[in-house]
Structure formats: structure tokens, C-alpha cells
Amino acid sequence: MSHDNPLLADDALPAFSQIRPEQVEPAIETILADYRAGIAALTAPGAPRDFATVMLTQERLEQRLARAWAPVSHLHSVADNEALRKVYGPAEEALTDHAIELGQNRDLYAAVQALADAADFATLPRPERALVHHALRDFKLSGVALEEPARSRYREIGVELSKLSTEFSNAVLDASEAWHEHITDERDLTGVPESGLAVLRQYAEDQDLDGYLVTLKQPSVQAVLTYADNRGLRERVYWAYQTRASDQGPNAGKFDNSARIEKIMALRHEAAQLLGFPTAAEESLATKMAGSPAEVLEFLHDLAKRAKPVAQRELATLREFAHTELKLDNLESWDVGYASEKLRQQQYALDEEQLKPYFPLPAVIEGLFGLTTQLYGIALAARDGVDVWHPDVRYYDVRDAAGRVFAGAYVDLYARNGKRGGAWMDVCRARFDDGANRQLPVAFLTCNFAPPTEGKPALLTHDDVLTLFHEFGHGLHHLLTEIALPSIGGIDGVEWDAVELPSQFMENFGWNRQALDLFAKHYQTGEKLPDELFQRMLAARHFHAGLFLVRQLEFALFDFLLHLEYDPAQGARTLAVLEQVRKQVAVLHPPAWQRFPHGFSHIFAGGYAAGYYSYLWAELLSADAFSAFEEHAGKNGSVIDRSTGERFRREFLAVGASRPALESFVAFRGRKPQPEALLRSHGLA
Ligand SMILES: [Zn+2]
């Protein structure tokens, strides 16, 4: 009986303890069948073409699916087991097929288009019009608006591209696994700290070897290139790592991604042109805040102009240091990370262990909640008795100034078995109101901090604190939304290069003295974070900021120009474009055999194609938004200001994707974004 299946219940919160793997398939099957029937009814000849019928019905059907799927996919991430994994894969596939089917539904597209074409469309409220525009844009980007034979060709390209991107990342993976170096004499690893050695010992143990195994996995590469005194080893690791899946290096030609890059670029260009865009770069910008390629390039070049001289100075200092202190006369690519770390230690001697006693988790949480109360007038209060998936999980009601509950959040902070690593915010329930039913927003906030130990609270590193603030920022974007149409509420539908604004914005408080004073107190003595330590934290934050920025700019420009300047007559010209970019922005020039693009999965196998610039773009937005609070502090002494907070909430957090992010930003800031605050936050002002 369907009503025995908790995944089909319409309760405000999922009944986690009642969910069984065997309920997943029947629930999804029932919901998808009803979903199809619902779409068929709304697209049937003679069905009304009004907002409620066409759009609210879709939102309602989607929410029913989300109510079942959100807890299942969450459990898969945080409380996984074999039985769940077995049903999860097929169910996920069914959902993907269903989403593709919807995106290709020409009748549905026609129904939405009819709504937009109707005489009274302009009289609809703005969020409703935005929802229609978003839907039409997505239909167009899915190729459904094309006529034959273009439509079939577009679909074919989609299939081919998804195959190529899988092959690309598999080649990177295979190349990474194909190389390792077995080390039995610990002296060959002098300089690598115990935590790094433990990782290398584990790799050896996994292969039934004694001693250490240096591999191309991230922690191993990191440990060797940053710490190993053995220059030859550093060079071999760099050589193997920076030539993965290419025509160079120890496995030259074996996993080579060169031909795949050519094919991917050609197909992306063809697909973009089928949709009516001049290049894949313009297609990418259709879902982003940046208005044109010129705007992206101007943004990147402007940053480069300011960051490059700083990077050059930093490099000169590093060379001098390497020469006099480390006796390294030619600073090679495999020396840079190593020499930087030595210089950093000499200048700041900042140790995470020194800071951790000032960041006991319960106090950090309390401080974070206190900060949000001061900024937005909201309060989070733990509620007992909520059905959760693990005893460590806490549920919080979010109340407005009048004490009314308007949202909720599950907070799950400690690492444990069966829980995926990393930190993230996910949607449990979206704000929705169709006139008949009201659903309040609920978030999942997940981290993987080291749990408390005997007699000691969990102590966070400063990075952990920033991570928590970051994810909580995403959470606030979701929880504080006032848009009751889930597809454009909270984080949903927000331009891709602006969606990290609220999260990175919150990180700024983790670097601010006034905010830190809310929670950074020694867990034993209650002493505030000493100013001397805080100043060293700030200085270390800006260490090699110029070098960091020019490297990010190199990646971003390479990615963007590769897509923008693609010419079918000449092919991708991957290495030529990279060389051209390096001439403009880089201060370090790697050896000619380096093949960084061949392992650049972000853009060839991930979602960052012609979008890598978004990292810096969002950082500029968040720094500039935060500077409004700093300006207030300049006048009135406090960065934690309610009126600025209310304005940020009203103009940015509350509106979701109901209007363009640029408009929201300008409404909050009173002007367009400017780079000064970003440069200041990197110590480059
Ligand atoms: Zn984020």
C-alpha cells in the first residue's frame, strides 16, 4: 500500500528512521508515473494555458519528486550502505531519463511558450515571468526548440560529448594510477611531515609493499612537492603528474587526451552554433551573470594587470631566498611549492595546532548563529525529537524576529564511516506555495570535522571555520528566500558565476576581528584569540597572493579563450592558446613538455567549460558585498551591522533567481561590482 511508504508521505520533514532501501524503487516508480500523467494532462489539447495550470503544476509535480528523492540522495551521501547503493543507482538513472524526457517534450515547450506569448504575460508578477523565462531558456539550451535535422544532430552531439568527457576523466585516472615510485629508504623522503609519510605508508600497505609508495594521488603529490628535500624525487613527481594523459612524460602516448580535446572542442563549437551562438563561450554565458565575452576578458585582464607586478615581486623574493637559503640556483617548476613553503615557515611560523584551541566547535556554532541574529534578526534554536539519521545530527528551527518558524536546518558536522567526505549544503525542502499548500525551506548542512575526543570538544582548524561559514552562507541563501517558486528560489536557477556569492561572503567574517571575537576563545582558559596570532594569520593569508592569482588567471583565460577563439579551420590549438595566455599573465614558465590541459578535468570533464573564471568572479562579488559592511564599520565601528544585513538579505538573499544577479547586486550595493575589495582581501590594494 502506497501510504505505508514514507517516501510517498507529504509530511513537513522526512521520516528518516522509517526509510528502507526497498521502498525507493516503488516510490520513484509511482511518483514518475503520476508526474508523466500530470504533464500529459497539462499539455493535452484544450487544457488551459494559464500560469497555474502550466507552471504551478510543474512545480508541484517536481516538489513531490523532490520530497521523496532529497532524503534518499542525502542518506546515500551521509549514511550509505550496500542495500541503499544497490537501489540508488537505478533510481538515479530513472530520474535522469525522466529529466531528459521533460527537457525534450515539445508539447510542454509549446505550452510554456504560449504562456509567454499571451497578451497578459506582462501583467504577471516578476517572479512568475522569471520562472517562464528560465524554463524557455532551458528548453532552448536543451535543443528541443530546434527543427530537424538540427535537433537530432544536437542530441547526437550531447551523447558523444558525454562519452568523451567520461573517457577524458578515465584517462586522467588511469594515467594517475599507472605511475608510482616505491621507496624503502626513509632518507629519500626527508622533509615530508609525519602526516604525509603516513599517507605514503598506507599506499604501500594497500599494495602489500613495505616502506612507502609515492603515487600521483593528490595527497602524495602535495606532500612531495611541498616538503620533500629530495629534488630528484620532486622533479620525477612533477614530470609524471604534469604530463598525465598526454603525449609526454613517463607514459607518453599511452592515455593521451590530445585527440579527445580536439573532438570535445569541435563538438562544443558545433553544438553552440546549432543553438544560434557564435561560440561555446557565448553559450556558456547564457546561464551566467557575465553579460558578454568582452566583459569576462576585461575582468580577467584587469585583474592580471594588477596581480602580475605583485607576482613578479613575490617571485623575485622567492628566487633570492631559494638561492641564499636553499642553495637552489635555478628555481624550477618542481622547486616552487617547496621553496614557498620554506619561506612561509620562516616568515610566519604559523601552525594550525596553535590556532585550534581557539576554535572549539560548540562555541563556533554559537558565534555563527549569534552573528546571523545580529545581521538578519533571525534565531536558530535546536529542536529535540526530530527524526534524524544519526544521533550526532541536530535539527534547528529558524525563527524570525517575531518568533515565527519560517525554515529549518539539519546540521551534521562530524566525519564517520559511511559518510561522504567534504562539506556541502543541500536542499531538503524548498519554499513553495501554490495557494493551496505551503512548504517551508529546510536545508541539510554537512561537514566532516574531527569529532570530539575524551574530555575535549571538537577543535576546528581555521580552514574548518571558513568551511563551516561558507556552507552556512549557502544555507542562508536557501533558508531566507522569499520566492515561493522552487525553480527560481534560494540557490536554484541563480546564475552559475554568482551562486557562490552568499557563501564566500560569509567566509569574510572568519577573517574579521569583530566577528572572531564572538567565538574565538580558548576552550580551556576562555582567553580571546591573541592579536599577535591574528596578525600572523592575516599575513599568512596574503602570502604569495599575487602568484596564486596569476595562476588562477592563467587557468581562467586559457579556458575562456580556448572556447571563444575556436576556429574549425584551425582546430583547438590547445598548446598555442596556452602559450599565448602565459605570455600575457604568467610569471612562471613551466618546461615545454608540461601538459597541464590534458589533466584539466574541470573544463573537459566537468561543468566548468568557459566558466572557470567564475571562481574569481564570485570572489570579487563576495568581497565587494562584504566591503559594504566594512564601509559601515569605518563610519560606525562595527562590521556586524543590522541595517546593511537587512539590505543584503532583502536585495540579494531573499530574491533568488527571480531577477538577474547583477540587478540584485546593484540594488544592494548601489553600483556595479568593483575589484578593489577583492584586491584588498588578497593584500594587493
Ligand atoms: Zn560553495
> What pLDDT digit, counting tens, does each position of 57-110 carry?
999 999 999 999 999 999 999 998 899 999 999 999 999 999 989 999 999 999
* Residue 486 falls inside a structural domain: no
Residue 270 sits at φ, ψ, to 5 deg, of: -60, -45
Give SS3 for 399.
strand
Is the same domain home to 285 and 225?
no
Is the same domain home to 44 and 101?
yes
Say if residues 640 and 371 touch (Cβ distance below 8 Å). Answer: yes
Distance 468 CA to ligand 1 centre (A): 10
The count of structural domains within the chain is 3
User: Which residues are the active-site residues?
Assistant: 471
Is the same domain home to 28 and 65?
yes
* Residue 642 falls inside a structural domain: no
Distance 500 CA to ligand 1 centre (A): 5
The mean pLDDT value of the chain amounts to 95
Is the same domain home to 263 and 225?
no
Cell digits of residue 137:
531558456
Q: How many CB atoms lie within 10 A of CB 125?
A: 10
Is the same domain home to 29 and 61?
yes
Is the same domain home to 340 and 208?
no
* Residue 499 falls inside a structural domain: no
* Residue 665 falls inside a structural domain: no
* Residue 536 falls inside a structural domain: no
Is the same domain home to 13 and 91?
yes
127-136 pLDDT, tens per residue?
999 999 999 9
Distance 252 CA to ligand 1 centre (A): 36
Q: 293 or 682: which carries more pLDDT confidence?
A: 293
Residue 294 is part of a domain; what is its CATH number? 1.10.1370.10
Say if residues 216 and 240 touch (Cβ distance below 8 Å). Answer: yes
How much is the pLDDT for 353? 84
Domain end call among 145, 168, 193? 145
Amino acid found at 433 = D
Domain end call among 194, 213, 241? 241
Residue 91 is part of a domain; what is its CATH number? 1.20.1050.40
Phi-psi region of 133 (alpha: psi -120 to 50; beta: other; left: phi over 0): alpha
How much is the pLDDT for 1? 45
Is the same domain home to 25 and 87?
yes
The span from the CA of 254 to the CA of 167, in Å, is 13
How much is the pLDDT for 574? 97
Kindly state the average pLDDT of the residues 663-675: 96
Residue 361 sits at φ, ψ, to 5 deg, of: -55, -45
The span from the CA of 468 to the CA of 520, in Å, is 14
* Residue 273 falls inside a structural domain: yes
Distance 475 CA to ligand 1 centre (A): 10
Is the same domain home to 192 and 229?
yes
Distance 36 CA to ligand 1 centre (A): 33
Kindly state the average pLDDT of the residues 613-627: 96
Using alpha carbons only, give the angle 120, 121, 125 rounded to the nearest 5 degrees: 110
Kindly state the average pLDDT of the residues 388-405: 97
How much is the pLDDT for 3? 60
Whether pLDDT at 506 is above 70: yes
Is the same domain home to 55 and 121?
yes
Q: Which of 104, 101, 100, 96 lies closest to 73 in space, CA to CA?
A: 96
Domain coverage including residue 273: 258-349+543-610
* Residue 588 falls inside a structural domain: yes
DSSP 210: S
Question: Maximum CA pair distance of the chain?
Answer: 83
Whether pLDDT at 553 is above 60: yes
How much is the pLDDT for 192? 95
Domain end call among 145, 171, 188? 145
Pairing of strands 394-399, 405-414: antiparallel
Amino acid found at 541 = R
* Residue 577 falls inside a structural domain: yes
Is the same domain home to 61 and 190?
no
Kindly state the average pLDDT of the residues 279-298: 97
Is the same domain home to 264 and 309?
yes
